[in-house]
Structure 1
Amino acid sequence: MSTLPLIELKGVTKTYGQGATALQALKGVDLTIEAGDFVAIMGPSGSGKSTAMNTLGCLDTPTSGEYVFNGVHVETLSRDQRALLRRRYLGFVFQGFNLLARTSAQENVELPLLYRGEPTKMRHAAAQKALASVGLSGWEHHTPAELSGGQQQRVAIARAIVTEPAVLLADEPTGNLDTQRSREIMELLWGLNVDHGITVLMVTHEADMAAYAKRIVHFVDGVVDSDTRNPHPAGLKAPVLPTPLSAELS
């Protein structure tokens, strides 16, 4: 059994532009992620967290440094090879759901399998299984307009996991949801991590959502400022988090 980490960033930098207008978004990031981890990535606007997520998701490439995924140096791959890695190993969930408006939930979930050329029967069965796993059995033929925000995000998660990815990358997955729906989505992500072994990497600015993660990584000014284990993830009991005293007094 391999003891190598699933993901390693080693001295990763990312610079946009050239000369006087160059912007260095990442300034030498070192980060190790083990298979089965649940990591919340946090930081202020401009801290580099979104650039790091894009790099981890093979949507962007480092200017320098190494990105090793399951032993493969991603920074050496061609565009087509990175696309293949995304299709085979990564699932994506976005704040805006990104569902096709006139397409049913099942058809939305089937899209990644369609791109992979899977046969119709297999696509239907896999999509139904994925929708069932997010609690949407019976909603297969509803369009996004017929679903609540929370249900739409569940469809988006089903679409992300229908290919059985090793890693789920979630970018502000609760940003457009109210508190109750947000907690339902976080409990769902927790279950996918704990019960199905999917490694979850989540960008969030909400501390109560990050509380579900097993580990919290803070970015500041293009580097990892802190990397701490969360000894009591909220997903263990999915509690209602108390309101801070300062908020009660404000």
Structure 2
Amino acid sequence: MTDSATPPLIRLRGITKTYGSGSAAFQALRGVDLDVASGEFTAVMGPSGSGKSTAMNLIGCLDTPSDGSYHFRGVPVQGLSRDQRALLRRRHMGFVFQGFHLLARTTAQENVELPLLYRGEGTAQRREHARQALDQVGLAGWEHHTPAELSGGQQQRVAIARAIVSAPTLLLADEPTGNLDTARSLEIMELLVALNRDHGITVIMVTHEPEMAAFAHRVVHFRDGRVERDELRSPQPQAEPA
């Protein structure tokens, strides 16, 4: 759902994904067409096996389609090499998962620095950018705490800081509140809304919770490997930025 005069950030056309072959073949995606505009906050919903996580992995260049075309900022992703896709991920995408995936024996700041280390940034620059990202997610002063010293909500904030430290164009969040209680879930959603609203980061979030999807501008419903329904909606109002 984009203005035809403005190319979408993401354009999927006729995307299929088949795992296995012969009688064991399973078609996870069955011809998906989807546009996501720059600056959107899109929630993706659907029952288990509907294809929503497969679509997320393809958009995030963690997997490749069996057929169809995927354009990111007008670039045909299916024509890129593995190294080129890795570079696209590193420069333009951040990832947040249900499991926080933090290194247990390293501090919050060191966890956040990791993407910058892979990009070859110097120590002083990494530290400064990591401090800024932690401040952005409300964790100034927690830089030297390890994951064991943080609550679940704080650990997810560290994971989000790690995802945004490289200033991504796109943030992909797969069940980001799945391991959190209601209060912490709402805090994380308010943070994602603020990153989208105040910093222009495009957010695509997979969730099975309607209460979390209510924060998005748009909800795309998957079923049986296809887009079943695509709804624009008024996001849930927030009194205060996170």
TM-score (norm 2): 0.96
**Cα separation, 2, equivalents of 1:41 and 1:134:** 23
The residue identity in structure 2 corresponding to 1:209 is M
**Cα separation, 2, equivalents of 1:140 and 1:171:** 25
**Cα separation, 2, equivalents of 1:68 and 1:182:** 32
Q: Answer yes or no: is 1:36 the counterpart of 2:39.
A: yes
Where do residues 148-167 of structure 1 align in structure 2 (5 Å cutoff)? Answer: 148-167=151-170
SS at structure 2 position matched to 1:173: coil
**Cα separation, 2, equivalents of 1:220 and 1:173:** 21
**Cα separation, 2, equivalents of 1:117 and 1:155:** 21
* Equivalence for 2:218: 215
After superposition, give the CA deviation of every residue in 1:119-143 in whole Å (9 maximum; x if it has no partner). 0111000000000000000000000
Unaligned runs of 5+ in 1: 239-250
**Distance verdict in 2 for CA 1:235–1:198, change over 3 Å:** farther
After superposition, give the CA deviation of every residue in 1:34-70 in whole Å (9 maximum; x if it has no partner). 0000000000000000000000000000000000000
Give the alignment partner of residue 56 of structure 2, picking from 53, 62, 67: 53
SS at structure 2 position matched to 1:44: coil
Deviation at 1:3, TM superposition (A): 1.8
**Cα separation, 1, equivalents of 2:32 and 2:79:** 18
* Equivalence for 2:172: 169
Give the alignment partner of residue 100 of structure 1, picking from 78, 99, 103: 103
TM-score (norm 1): 0.93
* Equivalence for 2:16: 13
Q: Please say if residues 106 and 127 of structure 1, whose CA atoms lie closer than 8 Å, have aligned partners that are also in contact.
A: yes
The residue identity in structure 1 corresponding to 2:101 is N
**Cα separation, 1, equivalents of 2:190 and 2:239:** 9
Where do residues 1-250 of structure 1 align in structure 2 (5 Å cutoff)? Answer: 3-231=6-234, 233-237=235-239
Q: Please say if residues 40 and 202 of structure 2, whose CA atoms lie closer than 8 Å, have aligned partners that are also in contact.
A: yes
Identity of aligned residues (%): 70
After superposition, give the CA deviation of every residue in 1:173-197 in whole Å (9 maximum; x if it has no partner). 0000000000000000000000000
Deviation at 1:234, TM superposition (A): 1.3
**Cα separation, 2, equivalents of 1:200 and 1:122:** 26
The residue identity in structure 2 corresponding to 1:183 is L
**Cα separation, 1, equivalents of 2:102 and 2:193:** 22
**Cα separation, 2, equivalents of 1:70 and 1:17:** 31
Deviation at 1:93, TM superposition (A): 0.2
**Cα separation, 2, equivalents of 1:150 and 1:230:** 27
Q: How many residues end up aligned between the 2 structures? A: 236
Unaligned runs of 5+ in 2: none
Post-superposition, which runs of at least 4 consecutive aligned residues in structure 1 deviate over 6 A?
Answer: none
Q: Please say if residues 170 and 201 of structure 2, whose CA atoms lie closer than 8 Å, have aligned partners that are also in contact.
A: yes
Deviation at 1:144, TM superposition (A): 0.1
SS at structure 2 position matched to 1:142: coil
SS at structure 2 position matched to 1:117: coil
The residue identity in structure 1 corresponding to 2:236 is A
